[in-house]
Amino acid sequence: MTERLYEGLFLIDASVASQGWTELESMMIGIVEGHGGAIEYSEKWPEQRLAYEIKGTKRGVYFLIYFRADTQKIVSMRTDAQLNEKIMRSLFVQEDFLEEEMKRRKDIADRRAAQPDPSAAPRRDSASSETTESASSTEEGEAPAAESANEAEPEAVAAEPVSEEVTETVAEEAGETETAEADTVAADAAPESEEEKG
């Protein structure tokens, strides 16, 4: 009996997933645990457009599971997943780098969970400081609206690294890191407008 770390990926029709995700999740975990597998980490990926239609379906939800199981039990897990009508596709992989990949995914999930939700954050009370800044900026000839635009900017800057990290993670998962880098280089090398040249 040889127990190894495996990665299991399940694809579910988006319309089926939206009707009862907890039921589906327990069913997929049950397939693994029913054959003696021990779940170490799992995550649901957001709904996304499929590269090609599968049984007339254009959108799907992926569910990723890292688990330890006996090597001889994988065939029966794969068979159960293929026979299940709610699972459109499944994939079970065993590679040497899975330990590091699982750790990386756990770290990213922990960082996302630790970050406060910007929409739930209380707004700062800066009415008195805005009045003082507005008066001084009006004297200098600047419009008060410019100050309020600058105040909103730090919040947007603080949110940028999260979206870049998410984009980078999604691009890595899709194998599109070179494309994203090429797009960035192309955007940086774009010719300047007439106003910037002058």
What DSSP assignment string belongs to 45-109?
Answer: PPPEEEEEEETTEEEEEEEEEEEEEEGGGHHHHHHHHHH-TTEEEEEEE--TTHHHHHHHHHHHH
Query: Could you tell me how many residues make up the chain?
Result: 198
Q: Is 13 helix (H, G, I), strand (E, B) or coil?
A: strand
pLDDT at position 119 is 65
Ranges of residues in the chain whose predicted pLDDT is under 70: 118-198
Burial of 119 (0-12, 13-18, 19+ CB in 10 A): exposed
pLDDT at position 118 is 67
pLDDT at position 115 is 85
pLDDT at position 100 is 92
**∠ at Cα 17 (13, 21), nearest 5°?**
150
C-alpha separations of 147 from 14, 96, 150, 163 in Å: 44, 54, 5, 25
pLDDT at position 176 is 45
**∠ at Cα 2 (93, 95), nearest 5°?**
25
166: number of Cβ within 10 Å: 13
**Where does residue 175 fall: left (phi above 0), alpha (psi -120 to 50 degrees), or beta otherwise?**
left
pLDDT at position 2 is 86
pLDDT at position 122 is 56
